[in-house]
Amino acid sequence: MERLLVLVRHGQSEWNRQNLFTGWRDPDLTERGVAEARAAGRELRRDGYGFDVAFTSELIRAQHTCALILEEMGLSDIPILRERALNERDYGDLSGLNKDEARARWGDAQVHAWRRGYDVRPPGGESLKDTAARVLPCYVAAILPRVMAGRRVLVAAHGNSLRALVMVLDGLTEAQVPDLQIRTGVPLVYRLNADTTVASKSVLEQDIDAGR
């Protein structure tokens, strides 16, 4: 039994490119983001991975990434389940603001705490702790049972929804969270033990120019 779980942050979005806080706003992928998603699919196919089911959020950048990965793998016909719980953290009043302008207004330390801290909420938004409070029940109720039943699962989501999940999978502490980076379009491949703990983890680096 494989017990395979692969996590992928969406490819670069239009607002990533513009250095804007995105949250629940819904920009699509850039040309580079499309290339990142396709490269992820090619790398997964090249390394012999397959999937039986995919999960994604209700936001187009994650859905588009998921569809492109599966297209590259020849798996466009597998079930794709959309879960609001997998949405990016809500940045509240910061959504749409340029990150450099936010630093100039509130200071580097405050903006870093909002972006990377565990329990610090931006104005009107969610902390990573809040995001984890919706991501982890979804993982336990919907994603993990499929993995443990031997179904190969792809999750295409967002930087912070995946940070919340990786924090638990990797056994990270709140103090380690600020250093946790989830790169766009780079698959994180987990294999789980029979007791749901992580047996192995690998990061599939990829060349977005290969095969274009």
Q: Confidence band (pLDDT; 50, 70, 90) for 210?
A: low
Q: Is the per-residue pLDDT at 100 higher than 60?
A: yes
Question: The CATH number of the domain where 90 resides is what?
Answer: 3.40.50.1240
- In-domain check, residue 209: no
**pLDDT for the residue 207:** 67
- In-domain check, residue 89: yes
- In-domain check, residue 208: no
**pLDDT for the residue 48:** 97
* Residues whose CB falls within 8 Å of the CB of residue 27, separated by 6 or more in sequence, listed in order: 13, 14, 15, 60, 61
- In-domain check, residue 136: yes
The pTM of the whole model exceeds 0.85: yes
- In-domain check, residue 44: yes
The number of domains in the chain is: 1
Q: Confidence band (pLDDT; 50, 70, 90) for 52?
A: very high
Give 194: exposed, middle or buried? Use CB within 10 Å, 0-12, 13-18, 19+: exposed
- In-domain check, residue 144: yes
Q: Give me the active site residues, please.
A: 10, 88
- In-domain check, residue 210: no
**Domain containing residue 69:** 4-203
Average pLDDT of span 80-105: 96
- In-domain check, residue 212: no
pLDDT digits (tens, 9 = 90+) for 129-173: 999 999 999 999 999 999 999 999 999 999 999 999 999 999 999
